[in-house]
């Protein structure tokens, strides 16, 4: 089918690439285990299994069915747990896998509340079977936790998982006869729908044949996703991604950054930003070329990625200063994180960041403090600005962010302890927080290091 126009993607760019990265992560890791293509399990098949089983036997029956498709080499007993054994800090876990002293799984137990939602129980058992596979194969450190929910899709359980991703709760505020919808897990029905589209596009599955049994949000993700992918091929991975070895040469990365696919540009930036090594100097220019990209998320990630460069030309650094002054809140934070000393306009850059300490939100204050610590000297007034920043942060920011402010105060003020004591004289809670901070952070000495 040929569309006369470019279809809209089913998700925002950042959301779309997040789904694609999760899908590709699972596919590559489990490539040798995946059925090609997977036979899709219809929701009515699960319903028949549930109807033909007693409630006491339901966990074992459902888990055995899911496990046989996902991890047929191993079997463990399944049953109901006592509610209190799956309640931690007031939060109920849907299931727990028990292990022996060697780490070998010995059983799985499900929360008794799932007795009232058999379809949700079926999805939970599929997730549990996926976790059992991942942990038994020692793959857990290579997958994000939300990936457990998506793994069953690769084995034919996409419609089931999308159905059980939401559930209805009584709405006490409007009367018990009314309900509200609540999310279950990290993967939404729309995400499942787009992931089913990715599977049909790249793995040649047939989720499209099951549109009539999907809930509307999952159906939208599948239909719009397939139409977009087939028309544009704009995805962060190729259709044959399971067969190809992704190149990581500078030339290959440069080509992806300079290509036309926004999804591949963002995906490449995310990889560069999270890489353990500094950014290759040859990639600085193509990354900097995305600083004015029309997609805000690509612009933000390009800005943040430049923080990983060893050197920045003056022109690029000046562009970062402009973004720090005039960009959106997210881009401003990214730009400030990439700034560094060594330019003849350092004084004006320092004044800008010190002004951020006085007037900005907590997130920008924390980034500004971290960047200010890269410098060896600061203009007059920095101590007052840091104290003002600490006042903004003290009751609502984490200890790591507060520590940045105290470290800068120790470097810039002749008597940082006295400065804190005087500034927070009327706030004993704040003083107690700073005392606790100094007791736990070895980098905070409480001694003066005045310039």
Dihedral sign (CA 336, 337, 338, 341):
positive
pLDDT for the residue numbered 90: 77
CA 343 – CA 315 distance, rounded (Å):
11
Dihedral sign (CA 199, 195, 256, 293):
positive
Which contiguous run of DSSP H or E holds residue 423?
helix 416-423
pLDDT for the residue numbered 184: 61
CA 359 – CA 50 distance, rounded (Å):
59
Between the alpha carbon of residue 255 and those of residues 104, 105, 135, 261, 287, the distances in Å are: 45, 46, 37, 11, 11
- DSSP letters spanning 61-84: HHHHHHHHHH-TT----EEEPPGG
pLDDT for the residue numbered 91: 81
pLDDT for the residue numbered 167: 58
Query: Pick from 255, 304, 318: which is nearest to 282 by CA?
Result: 255
Dihedral sign (CA 242, 244, 250, 254):
negative
pLDDT for the residue numbered 83: 87
Q: Cα–chain-centroid distance for residue 356? A: 27
pLDDT for the residue numbered 168: 53
- Low-confidence stretches of the chain (pLDDT beneath 50): 1-3, 169-181, 446-451
CA 363 – CA 123 distance, rounded (Å):
38
CA 223 – CA 413 distance, rounded (Å):
61
Do 228 and 7 contact (CB within 8 A), yes or no?
yes
CA 405 – CA 434 distance, rounded (Å):
11
Instruction: Return phi, psi of residue 168, to 5°.
Output: -95, 135
CA 250 – CA 280 distance, rounded (Å):
8
CA 374 – CA 336 distance, rounded (Å):
12
Query: Pick from 185, 181, 157, 177: which is nearest to 167 by CA?
Result: 181
Query: Pick from 404, 402, 350: which is nearest to 381 by CA?
Result: 350
Do 221 and 10 contact (CB within 8 A), yes or no?
yes
The upper half-sphere exposure of residue 109, i.e. CA atoms within 13 Å in the direction of its Cβ, equals 15
Express each pLDDT in 69-78 by its tens digit. Answer: 999 988 899 9
pLDDT for the residue numbered 179: 42
pLDDT for the residue numbered 88: 82
Please give the model's pTM, rounded to 2 decimal places. 0.88
pLDDT for the residue numbered 166: 66
pLDDT for the residue numbered 5: 67
Do 221 and 193 contact (CB within 8 A), yes or no?
yes
């Amino acid at each position: 089918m040929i569309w006369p126009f470019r279809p809209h993607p089913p998700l925002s760019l950042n959301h779309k690439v997040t789904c694609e990265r999760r899908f590709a992560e699972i596919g590559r890791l489990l490539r040798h285990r995946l059925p090609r293509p997977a036979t899709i399990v219809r929701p009515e098949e699960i319903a028949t299994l549930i109807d033909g089983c007693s409630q006491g036997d339901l966990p074992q029956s459902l888990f055995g069915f899911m496990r046989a498709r996902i991890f047929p080499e191993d079997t463990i007993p399944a049953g109901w747990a006592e509610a209190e054994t799956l309640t931690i800090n007031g939060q109920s876990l849907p299931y727990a896998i028990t292990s022996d002293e060697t780490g070998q799984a010995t059983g799985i137990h499900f929360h008794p509340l799932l007795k009232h939602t058999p379809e949700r129980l079926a999805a939970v058992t599929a997730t549990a079977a996926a976790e059992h596979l991942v942990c038994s194969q020692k793959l857990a450190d290579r997958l994000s936790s939300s990936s457990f929910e998506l793994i069953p899709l690769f084995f034919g359980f996409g419609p089931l998982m999308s159905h059980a991703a939401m559930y209805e709760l009584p709405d006490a505020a409007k009367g018990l006869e009314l309900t509200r919808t609540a999310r279950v897990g990290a993967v939404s029905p729309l995400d499942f729908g787009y992931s089913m589209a990715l599977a049909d596009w790249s793995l040649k599955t047939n989720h499209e044949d099951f549109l009539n049994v999907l809930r509307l949000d999952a159906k939208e993700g599948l239909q719009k996703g397939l139409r977009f992918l087939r028309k544009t091929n704009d995805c962060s991975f190729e259709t044959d991604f399971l067969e190809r070895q992704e190149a990581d040469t500078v030339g290959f990365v440069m080509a992806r950054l300079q290509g036309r696919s926004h999804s591949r540009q963002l995906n490449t930036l995310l990889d560069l930003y999270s890489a353990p090594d500094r950014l290759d100097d040859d990639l600085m220019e193509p990354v900097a070329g995305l600083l004015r990209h029309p997609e805000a998320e690509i612009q933000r990630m390009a800005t943040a990625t430049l923080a990983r460069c060893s050197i920045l030309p003056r022109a690029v650094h000046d562009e970062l200063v402009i973004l720090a002054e005039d960009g959106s809140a997210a881009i401003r934070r990214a730009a400030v994180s990439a700034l560094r000393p060594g330019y003849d306009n350092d004084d004006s850059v320092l004044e800008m960041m010190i002004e951020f300490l006085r007037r900005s939100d907590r997130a920008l204050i924390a980034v500004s403090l971290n960047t200010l610590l890269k410098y060896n000297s600061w203009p007059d007034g920095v101590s007052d600005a840091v104290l003002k920043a600490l006042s903004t942060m003290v009751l609502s920011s984490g200890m790591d962010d507060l520590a940045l402010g105290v470290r800068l105060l120790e470097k810039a003020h002749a008597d940082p302890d006295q400065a804190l004591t005087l500034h927070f004289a009327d706030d004993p809670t704040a003083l107690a927080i700073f005392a606790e901070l100094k007791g736990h952070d070895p980098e905070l000495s409480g001694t003066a290091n005045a310039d």
